[in-house]
Amino acid sequence: MTEYLCLTILSRAGEAERDFKSRLTAFWTHLLRTQPDLYERVYAEATRFGTSGDRITRQYLVEAEVADAVVAALAAFGLEFSPVDRDDTYTKYEATSPDWFQIEH
């Protein structure tokens, strides 16, 4: 069974949600166009934004095998993220509504 890791992307300190959404959209569009095979291994997105201090967060479930590649792509694009906890794995059955929605590929 495929294992997934939770990836938490962070906004800039004090960044407005709409601006963060725009940067996320730009990143995922870029990844889809430049690395479609990698994009297909991103399984789910949290349905709500979270917060961490004065930052907005958004969580994604990515296949454990490609987590490093996704993190490298995020860093190259200038997005910050929390450290990935490789011991905290999920199955696709744990990514259910109302907390997660599956990304269509």
Single pTM value for the model: 0.95
User: Tens digit of pLDDT for each residue in 48-68?
Assistant: 999 999 999 999 999 999 999
Residues in contact with 92: Cβ distance below 8 Å, sequence separation at least 6, in sequence order: 2, 4, 43, 44, 102
Chain centroid offset of residue 55 CA = 15
Tell me if 62 sits within 8 A of 41, measured CB to CB.
yes
Residue bearing tokens 């958004």: 58
Mean pLDDT of 61-83: 97
Rounded CA-CA distance 4/64 in Å is 5
How confident is residue 97, by pLDDT bands cut at 50, 70 and 90? Answer: confident
Per-domain residue ranges of the chain: 4-85
CATH number of 4-85: 3.30.70.2750
Does residue 95 register a pLDDT over 90? no
Rounded CA-CA distance 78/92 in Å is 28
Residue 13, classified by CB atoms within 10 Å of its CB into exposed (0-12), middle (13-18) or buried (19+), is exposed
How confident is residue 41, by pLDDT bands cut at 50, 70 and 90? Answer: very high
